[in-house]
Structure 1
């Protein structure tokens, strides 16, 4: 028990020191804090130069709410709970597996340390993106989890910052389901994770941006704004009532598993979900929405 508490304490102090270094001291290429700002500014400039929905305001509906969500989910959430919870969960899972005679350090399908760097990064990217595609499906199909995911789908005007509007429970679900597959492969460095993470954030920002791009032939490989807009459509097709276009970075999974859907230009379709007019509009009320037993929570 003492080791468990020490793990949590060290997680808080370690991440606090890391965040201070990110903001005040570090100038490395993998600086997450300034990396997020740089990517966001770049995609925002692209929105200004090549707007798809020309009538949409530059500072669209909920622009500042989504900007707050970006920094809260990317940094403050880690400081408050996520890093400590992730490390504690990893410690518990490893203890349980060791108790039943399974050591993830020896039970690995692939020893990526023997592979060239490109292939180790490729394996990490493919495995993590596929697991996240599966998790995204689960968020739409399990009613309890869908209540958390509604926060992301409450966006009514799409823009780059909508990418990181999500409930604090989502990364817990994603990280939990991703933990064992990545641990089984193992051997990844912090730099490997940073490279893949920055790439995924860039694609995610572009997917949510006010841009009318589909990347031509590469639309069958990478998710894109013209495809992802349909994921946020308020009206879903009858043959896919739980959702469409679940890809985070790659679109290939949707084409393989027949969840792709781009019937026509989605430039002006209505976004949201059924009865979203009853969904809270403020940060705190959105955060506590799934925790209420009542079906709906009044707007704040």
Structure 2
């Protein structure tokens, strides 16, 4: 227990110092100013090339989603995620040690031993494929869907809607992603930063008020015209759990037949069945899964 208390203390202290350093010092892997820069670029693209021309510049829930961007990208790490991540890693290593194993025993590939471009590509593909499957799980599991509803409560799409999600989601994503990334160890800071900012930019574009599909690249990269159907309130009868689960890449949806773009979805209604009863304020949205569980169990 003493070891985990130390992890708790070091996690908060270390991440606070990291966050303060990000805010006060600019560098090329700076996530704080990177988020601001990517957001401003995509927002300007929305203003220059709006798909839904009648949508206001400050669309419905624009400021709520902007708050979610900074809360989920930074404050959430400070509050809970860094400690949970570090504690989970240590717990997993302890469990392996009890049976005489180490994490290195599971490492099948060392990305550092590969040419940088190849290692980066493998890291990107593995990360995106695991996240695609995790995203499907958020829709197929009734328990997890209750948390994921927050992201699907968006009624007007814009770049900041990308990071409107419940704090439980990154816990699920990081937990499931931990072992695959341990198996392909050796990724460096540059690789993580490139993949992170690539996913951030693609995710912002997917949710932006843009009518792009990238031509033939639509079969590789997720895009606004494809992702709008993921947020459609009315789903096809053969796919009531959802469609177009791609995070950065659309290729997984085409390979596993979860793609669905029946026509131009510019003006389709967004949301989910019963979203008229979903809370509109931050705290109520965060507490929604807990309150719903209590109502269902009473």
Q: TM-score, normalised by structure 2?
A: 0.97
Q: Who is 2:96 aligned against? A: 97
Q: Deviations over 1:141-180 (max 9, x none)?
A: 0000000000000000000000000000000000000000
What is the rounded CA distance, in whole Å, between the counterparts of 1:85 and 1:57 in structure 2?
Answer: 39
Q: Who is 1:156 aligned against? A: 155
Q: Who is 1:56 aligned against? A: 55
Q: Who is 1:140 aligned against? A: 139
Q: Who is 1:5 aligned against? A: 5
The runs of 5 or more residues in structure 2 that have no matched partner are: none
Q: 76-85 or 185-194, which moves further after superposition?
A: 185-194
C-alpha displacement of 1:101: 2.7
Aligned-partner SS, 2:26 = coil
Aligned-partner SS, 1:106 = helix
Q: Deviations over 1:236-285 (max 9, x none)?
A: 00011100000000000000000000000000000000010000000000
Alignment of 1:39-188 (within 5 A): 39-188=38-187
What is the rounded CA distance, in whole Å, between the counterparts of 1:29 and 1:112 in structure 2?
Answer: 22
What is the rounded CA distance, in whole Å, between the counterparts of 1:172 and 1:206 in structure 2?
Answer: 24
- Structure 1 stretches of 4+ with a deviation exceeding 4 A read none
C-alpha displacement of 1:98: 2.0
C-alpha displacement of 1:115: 0.3
What is the rounded CA distance, in whole Å, between the counterparts of 1:20 and 1:72 in structure 2?
Answer: 15
Q: Who is 2:220 aligned against? A: 221
Q: Deviations over 1:211-259 (max 9, x none)?
A: 0000000000000000000000000000111000000000000000000
C-alpha displacement of 1:295: 4.9
C-alpha displacement of 1:60: 0.3
Alignment of 1:203-242 (within 5 A): 203-242=202-241
What is the rounded CA distance, in whole Å, between the counterparts of 2:201 and 2:100 in structure 1?
Answer: 40
C-alpha displacement of 1:100: 2.0
C-alpha displacement of 1:191: 2.1
C-alpha displacement of 1:190: 2.0
C-alpha displacement of 1:107: 2.1
Aligned-partner SS, 1:105 = helix
The runs of 5 or more residues in structure 1 that have no matched partner are: none
Aligned-partner SS, 2:125 = helix
C-alpha displacement of 1:287: 0.1
